[in-house]
Amino acid sequence: MKKIMSVLIMLWIISCQREDTPVREIDQVSRIYIDSAGIDMLNDSLNISYKTRRYYDALGLTDNAAVSLQLKQNKNGRYFLEYTAGAVRKNLNEDNSPTIVRSIIAFQMAYPAHTTASILPIQDTLILDYRFSDAEFRLISARYNGKEALHGKEENAHRIEIHK
């Protein structure tokens, strides 16, 4: 009985040891703002804002793999799209440290039919690059149609500004 108790106590002590595995810091949430000449193009109450908005994973298995972007409003009343995750990520590095992975989201947006703006839908791309290592997963670059769009952080999210 003493041997069994000794073994159980030893197992309990071993199981209580701290792991040396580092905790990965995840920093990937983004707020995407879209404006044109200072007008919030995501505000549905405006007649000239985009009314139809769809987002697709350009690296997905099919051309129409949807990506979830949630329409939200900040404390100043400005609308934004919140992106957390969901698009396929492609490894850009040949080696493994640190790895750079990329997601590409295709934006398809259209104005309301009664506006004088082009009726053809707007098709743009947002390229997101992340640094991925044992210690972190972090957004490091955001380019919209080839232009850098990452503009710092707000409320624990990356701020992506798109000016049309």
Q: How confident is the model at residue 27 (pLDDT cuts 50, 70, 90)?
A: confident
82: CB partners within 8 A, 6+ apart: 29, 30, 31, 32, 69, 70, 72, 157
Is the per-residue pLDDT at 140 higher than 70?
A: yes
Say which residue the tokens 């500004």 belong to.
161
Q: How many domains in the chain?
A: 1
3: CB partners within 8 A, 6+ apart: none
Quote the pLDDT of residue 49: 86
Indicate the residue type of 20.
D
- Is 18 a domain residue? no
Quote the pLDDT of residue 72: 96
- Is 8 a domain residue? no
Cα separation, 101 vs 93, in Å, equals 8
Cα separation, 105 vs 126, in Å, equals 5
- Is 148 a domain residue? yes
pLDDT per residue as tens digits for the range 70-84: 999 999 999 999 999
β-strand partners of 56 = 66, 106
- Is 16 a domain residue? no
pTM: 0.78
**Number of helices (H), then strands (E), in the chain:** 1, 13
Mean pLDDT over residues 34-51, rounded? 89
Is the per-residue pLDDT at 147 higher than 90?
A: yes
Q: Domain span at residue 85?
A: 25-163
Instruction: Name which residue leads in pLDDT, 114 or 135.
Output: 135
DSSP 98: T
Quote the pLDDT of residue 161: 94
- Is 78 a domain residue? yes
Cα separation, 33 vs 23, in Å, equals 31
Percent of the chain whose predicted confidence (pLDDT) is above 90: 40
pLDDT per residue as tens digits for the range 84-117: 988 888 888 877 666 899 999 999 888 766 555 5
